[in-house]
Structure 1
Amino acid sequence: MTLFYRKNVYSLLLLMALSYSAFSQTPALSVSGYREQYPDDDVINLKSLSQYSFTRGTVQNPVIVNISNSDTYISLRPRVRLTDAIFYDKYSEITGHKLLRENGIRRTDYVRCGDYEIDGLFYHDARICMFDLLFLEAGNSYTLNTDKQINDLRYFATVPLHKTSRTLERKISIALPDYLQLEIYEMNFGQFNIESTKVHDSQNKMTTIEYIIKDLPAMDKVENMPDYSCALPHLLVVPRSYIKGSDTIAVLKRPEDLYNWYVSLISEPSVSAELAAFTENLVKNDSTTDQKINSVMSWIADKIRYIAFVNGMAAYVPDEADVVFKNRYGDCKGMSNLARSMLRHLGIDARLGWVYTGKTCYPEETLSLASDNHMICVVKQDNELIYLDPTLRYVALREIPESIQGKRCVVENGKEWTVERIPATVSNSNLKSINYDMVIDGNRFKVDGNMLLKGDIRLMFQYFLNHIRSDKKEDLLRYFVKGGDNNFRIIEMKTPPADSAAENFEISYNLEVSNALIDLGDEVLLSMDFWKELKGQKIEEDRKYNYNLKGRNLTEHQVKLRLPDHLKVKKLPAPLNISMPGYNFTGSYIQEGNELVYRKKLEISNEVLTPEDFKLWNESIVTLTRFYNEMVVLSTNF
């Protein structure tokens, strides 16, 4: 080691040590004080430090990312267990770990490392170290130190600012050498208490970027969290390039850097004799291309078990088609590659496509491995592209799933690629539409009803309908129609097959609603909304995390009540009209001849609410709830 190198390393370590010392000067409360301040937490993280540095590597891995973590946990109650975990894979490794008690004694029986497991299936290219912390008494504390190394710079995509437990202080320190160009996006900082600094050291040719976060709420108990990209505070990192000698080497500097890498990871589709024979037999009764595509996609969705896991090399390299076919399980890449291979064998131009699934808050132009988290199969038929997601069941051919609609999709084209735009849908593509025709019979309503489901609402309902015991399917259907209201009695109900892949799932039924009218003598009170969606769904205004409204969708109701001759309308609730960026609520009661018609629309066009939106949302919910609580007044004295 040269004198110059020793001097620079010493300076860097001294700077980090002094920085950590200043960072850790935090006044400590007693355990009872912490428990009083944080009554919902069993364990808190007192101090959390993550340090990122970079070193020159080998020809295969020119730049190495080194990550050192230190977390000090304290229990607020006795007999508490906490599990911390770190993933690693073919392109990263855990280089060290140590667990110390509050008395400085080192524990040696706290870690289990190995293949990651989901439902009994093990992933050999995705591994995990799990650290088991058992706090016997309130006030017990542990400090967990871990070291991780990322060997492929492309896989350095995010820096988490959050921790699972409530964290009183967390610091991120990135020592960025001048030879490395990173682009950093600050994501979801929102209402969090985050401070940042950036200092360049010209002597050591180093820029130190630091983030300090204070009183970060626990994320494990937060409900209605959006996707990671829209919910948790983190840094999105794009490694652009590095300097080697007099050359600048691109990593993810231009779109072709990323997309060429995608294509380099896949091989030409191939099928074994067994898979070829099976595929030909599967479509033997099909005469059109559409029928063959439907047969292949339906079989894969029905018979191949989807394992929703993304990590390591498996996040980008699909398993061979024959492997998925024999195993009868696979992730999105393996299932898409199986679809591509089977369809290619049938002479259909099928390709692989990289896309982001779900709601994303990342800038679309971002060149990062975090930007495309899903693989699909894309069929080119004449001048048309058909986007097929084999992980979704009951999807009609050419139906665009909500999760990928409107997204950029990178599609393989031989050894090259094209960038396509998946057609966008609108919120009413995910529709629940209810139509009732009602008459009054004594103190009850007799109802002819119809419920129409489309899009993600249909897919989710059919998924649950097909994954419960056969003797419970009828109960689910009845609950979906009448909820938990014991005043509803279903007389007759008709439904399509549970596994239908039609774009519409329509339930028709006849029912009676008891105790529907309140008789006050010369007046009768009634409500024509039996569902009251979103009623009272206010959000805690001190919540710091974004809120997920469960997707874009449209709920429509039209309820017609035929008025008997002895009842006349005396008073109707005032109309509802709420129009906000991201959602619209309308409702009205109108008399049309001898019918009273109730119409309601609840449209969610942006499913993620930020803390800045909560106040207006809560005011809207109060107005909506007030509308629900108003009743129709009919008169018997006229």
Structure 2
Amino acid sequence: MKFIKILIIVSGFGFLNAQEFAVGNIPSKLTDDAYAVVRKDETKVEFINYDKLKYSNEYVVTVLNESGLRYGFQPLYYDKRMKISKYTAVIYDKDGKEIKKLKSKDLKDISVYDGSALFVDYRLQYYEFTPVSYPFTVQYYQEYTTSNTIVIPGWRAVGTYNLGIENSSYELTNLSSIQIRKKESGFDGWKVNKTEIGNKLNYSIQDIPPVQEEVLSPVLSELSPLVKLIPNKFQLEGVNGSFENWEQFGKWYYSNLLNNKRDLTAKDKQTVSQLISGVSDPVEKIRILYQYMQSKTRYVNVVIGIGGWEPFPASYVGDKSYGDCKALSNYMISLLDYAGIEAFYTIVYGNSSRKQDMDDQFASLQGNHIIVNVPLDEQTIWLECTSQQTAFNYLGSFTDDRYAVSVKPTGAEVVSTQKYTVDQNLNKISGQAELFADGKLNMNFEQEDIGLLYDSASSIYFESEKDRVQSLRSMFSEVPNFDMKNYELTNDRDNAVFRTSIQFESGHYASVVGNSLLINLLPVGKSKTGLKKNNQRKFPFEIRFGYTDVVEYDLKLPNGYKISEKFDNIIYMTEFGNYLLAVKENGDGSLKIHRTMTVKDGNYSKDKFNDFVEFTRKVSSFDNSKVLLEKK
């Protein structure tokens, strides 16, 4: 049975009357289609001084079913700068009757470890609770003080789908003379109560029904109320600082976290000199040194130093041959620096499922990943340093097309990472096929995947032989009686191009209709869709990235057969993309089949969703076009 981790520390906090937590007291509009309901989420923050902050939170959540278990997990991560004064947890049944008040003997304390970490400053406390039945309610209270004040805990009213909110509130009290900057977003369409009197700032929201997730909808947290707070003067792991803009942020970050970290070992310096000896092209130098870094190092998560934001020196990576994104990026920059090439340590939000920008209008400690930015006269090179398999000058969907922040001695600069256009995200199939009178088809083709499509396509290259064959058969499962005779994979990491060459037979590919043959024009590469129209859609939708999909091949017909009638080429153009399917008779009696489909990236209003569904359905229908071949 699944368990829930409940974090706890003993205190004398007095809970309210448990009857308030009876499930029957929850308005039905909050439970309909909900996995859980937040009964109370009350946060209070006191900013006492640049080196002291007090935080408290009471969080009460009713878990309605197994899908809501994750909402009952209220983690407490802590470090050496945090002093926990109270942390309690009580579990109630559906009637609000107390099941268990967790005690000190229930407390477990472990180091945070994600499977690849070596050193971690952060720890957590938790309790494993196996629910006997649903629904149940968990009430937490936590209170702590910390000297790490660079980020003031903010307020996110609604963070996820299928979660009802009964009450959520936030209060900030500024007991210092230090100015606190704030950034509000996502308030439109939400009934947020806000007051700002003297040194107190308050927000609250009540009775928010659960929001249902919709296909291709943005992340809910991007559409709901969010408050970010940053003090102009702060402390991080005993290091004082202040900044009000990105220029000041960059100077502070470089001086305190990056300065004097490019201390390559003598061995690495010698290797760099040998590797680039006689090479004049800067791009080739970068390529050589990047491949050296990949071959020498491996990734581990090292969260240690100033709040987990400070990289290990280049000499550490040189000696140990491992590091995290911070250390490996700094090491790569150090190699380039010794070669006379300027490169910058760049902070970014890494997430493949959605594009998340650094907030260019709100200078603050943000991001969750580090990459390297190498600006040259005619182009900018981007380097992902945590993978031994990533192609040169290739970011992929994890960090592409978003705002990032490059840190320089003179300040930080907001930059845009590599964006792949509709034409650059290319899947192209080209080949030759032969059809026989009994309906069998033989085909040889090569598939090229470029741009963001390279990312997923190339993963098969690193699979075992058995898994490769299984993956390829699954990839082309739409081919009837698919019998793969041979295949070859080519991974061009210098140019981020992945090629898949396949030779296959398909028995009974064509349907025999009397003396004629009925065939589908596209043996491979057909588009599929499972999207359904939604007349009640509430949110806009996003096409994450655009792409071009091409299938082009020559089809040799059986002796004595010809196409029964001229095929009318299909041309279909919409705001979401374009489609072309053309059939041409070659001089030798064979057919040339060409299909091009483009899909445009972008954000679209909710009222256009059904039009997009119709576009995908028509494309899928066109891809299943058939022609009749008859004997001459």
Equivalent of 1:276 in 254, 268, 276: 268
**Residue 445 (structure 1) aligns with:** 441
Counterpart CA distance in 2 for 1:177 and 1:37 is 36
The residue correspondences of 1:191-270 to structure 2 (distance < 5 A) are 194-201=190-197, 205-212=199-206, 214-216=208-210, 230=222, 233=224, 235-239=226-230, 241=232, 253-264=244-255, 265-270=257-262
Alpha-carbon distance, 1:117 to partner: 0.6
- Give 1:457's aligned amino acid: L
Counterpart AA for 2:510: L
% same residue: 15
Deviation at 1:29, TM superposition (A): 3.9
Residue pair 1:51, 1:173 contacting (<8 A) in 2 also: yes
1:346, distance to aligned residue in structure 2 (A) = 4.1
Aligned to 1:138: 134
Alignment match of 2:508 (pick from 515, 532, 536):
515
- Asked whether the equivalents of residues 91 and 150 of structure 1 are also in contact (C-alpha less than 8 Å), the reply is yes
2:579 corresponds to: 586
Which secondary structure does the structure 2 equivalent of 1:537 belong to? coil
Equivalent residue, structure 2, for 1:3: none
1:154 to 150, 158, 161: 150
The normalised TM-score by structure 2 is 0.77
Instruction: Give the Cα–Cα distance (whole angstroms) in 1 for the partners of residues 391 and 413 of structure 2.
Output: 25
* Residue 73 (str. 1) matches residue 67 (str. 2): no
With 329-338 and 206-215 compared, the bigger mean Cα shift is at 206-215
RMSD over equivalenced CA pairs, Å: 4.5
Matches of 1:613 and 1:363, distance apart in 2: 29
- The equivalent position to 1:56 in structure 2, one of 48, 59, 67, is 48
- Cα offsets for 1:336-370 (capped at 9, x unmatched): 01112233344443432334445545585322446
Q: How far apart are the structure 2 equivalents of 1:372 and 1:553?
A: 27
Match in the other structure for 1:321: 314
Offset of 1:506 from its aligned partner?
A: 2.2
1:96 alignment partner in structure 2: 86
Q: Which amino acid aligns with 1:489?
A: D
User: Which of the numbers 368, 371, 384 marks the counterpart of 1:389?
Assistant: 384
Q: What does residue 622 of structure 2 align with?
A: 627
Structure 2 counterpart SS, 1:216 = coil
Distance 1:313 1:538 in 2: 49
Residue in 1 that maps onto 2:9: none
Partner in structure 1 of residue 122 of structure 2: 126
User: Aligned in 2, Cα 1:129/1:552: closer, same or farther, shift over 3 Å?
Assistant: farther
Cα contact 1:93–1:148 (8 A) shared by 2 = yes
Q: Which residue of the other structure, out of 290, 293, 301, is the alignment partner of 1:300? A: 293
Match of 2:549 in 1: 555
Secondary structure of 2:461's partner?
A: helix
Q: Which residue of 2 aligns with 1:375?
A: 370
Matching residue's letter, 2:325: C
Question: Which residue of the partner structure matches residue 465 of structure 1?
Answer: 461
- SS of alignment partner, residue 342 of structure 1: helix
> In structure 1, how many angstroms separate the alpha carbons of the residues matched to 2:567 and 2:348?
49
Distance in 1, matches of 2:603 and 2:372, equals: 28
- 3-state SS in 1 of match to 2:423: helix
1:436 deviates by 3.2
Query: Which residue of 1 is the match for residue 185 of structure 2?
Result: 186
Q: Distance in 1 between matches of 2:80 and 2:599?
A: 42
1:332 match: 325
Q: Could you say if the C-alpha distance between residues 397 and 121 of structure 1 is closer, same or farther in structure 2, counting changes exceeding 3 Å?
A: closer
Q: Distance between the aligned counterparts of 2:338 and 2:218, measured in 1?
A: 40
Q: Where does residue 116 of structure 1 map in the other structure?
A: 112
Contact 1:92 1:150 in 2 (8 A): yes
Q: How far off is 1:432 after superposition?
A: 1.2
- For 1:555, the aligned partner's letter is D
> 2: CA distance between counterparts of 1:121 and 1:250?
28
**Aligned equivalents of 1:78, 1:555: Cα separation in 2:** 37
Structure 1: how far apart are the matches of 2:91 and 2:21?
Answer: 20
| Residue in 2 that maps onto 1:87 | 77
Q: What is the CA–CA distance in structure 2 between the aligned matches of 1:568 and 1:295, rounded to whole Å?
A: 53
Q: Which runs of 5+ in 2 are unaligned?
A: 1-13, 235-239
Instruction: Please give the residue correspondences for 1:325-364 in structure 2 after superposition, counting only pairs within 5 Å.
Output: 325-358=318-351, 359-360=354-355, 362=357
Given that 1:432 and 1:454 are in contact with CA atoms closer than 8 Å, whether structure 2 keeps it comes out as yes
Taking the aligned partners of 2:212 and 2:126, their CA distance within structure 1 comes to: 19
1:535 paired residue number: 529
2:322 and 2:535 mapped to 1: Cα distance? 43
Whether the 8 Å CA contact 1:89–1:312 is kept in 2: the answer is: no
Partners of 1:412 and 1:374 in 2: CA distance: 13
Residues in 2 aligned to 1:490 and 1:365: alpha-carbon distance in whole angstroms: 51
Judge conservation of contact 1:166–1:216 (CA < 8 Å) in 2. yes
Q: Is the 8 A contact 1:451 1:507 kept in 2?
A: yes
In structure 2, C-alpha distance between the alignment counterparts of 1:507 and 1:90, rounded to whole Å: 52
Q: Counterpart of 1:66 in 2: which secondary structure? A: strand
Consecutive unaligned residues of structure 1, counting only runs of 5 or more, are 1-16, 244-248
**Alpha-carbon distance, 1:194 to partner:** 4.1
- TM-score (structure 1 length as normaliser): 0.77
**Cα deviation digits, residues 385-412 of structure 1 (max 9, x gap):** 5332213455554456555555555444
Asked whether the equivalents of residues 488 and 501 of structure 2 are also in contact (C-alpha less than 8 Å), the reply is yes
Secondary structure at 1:210's aligned position in 2? Answer: strand
**SS of aligned partner of 2:564:** strand
User: Contact 1:163–1:218 (CA<8 Å) still a contact in 2?
Assistant: no
State the distance in 2 between where 1:36 and 1:381 align.
56
| Residue type at the aligned position of 2:39 | K
Partner of 1:13: none
What's the offset of the Cα at 1:98?
Answer: 1.0
Is this contact kept in 1: 2:160–2:220, CA < 8 A?
Answer: no
Amino acid at match of 1:462: S
What one-letter code is carried by the residue in structure 1 that aligns with 2:628? L
Contact 2:232 2:244 in 1 (8 A): yes
Q: Which residue of 1 aligns with 2:6?
A: none
Question: Cα 1:562–1:342, aligned 2, differ >3 Å: closer, same or farther?
Answer: same
Residue type at the aligned position of 2:258: I
CA distance in 1, matches of 2:69, 2:393: 51
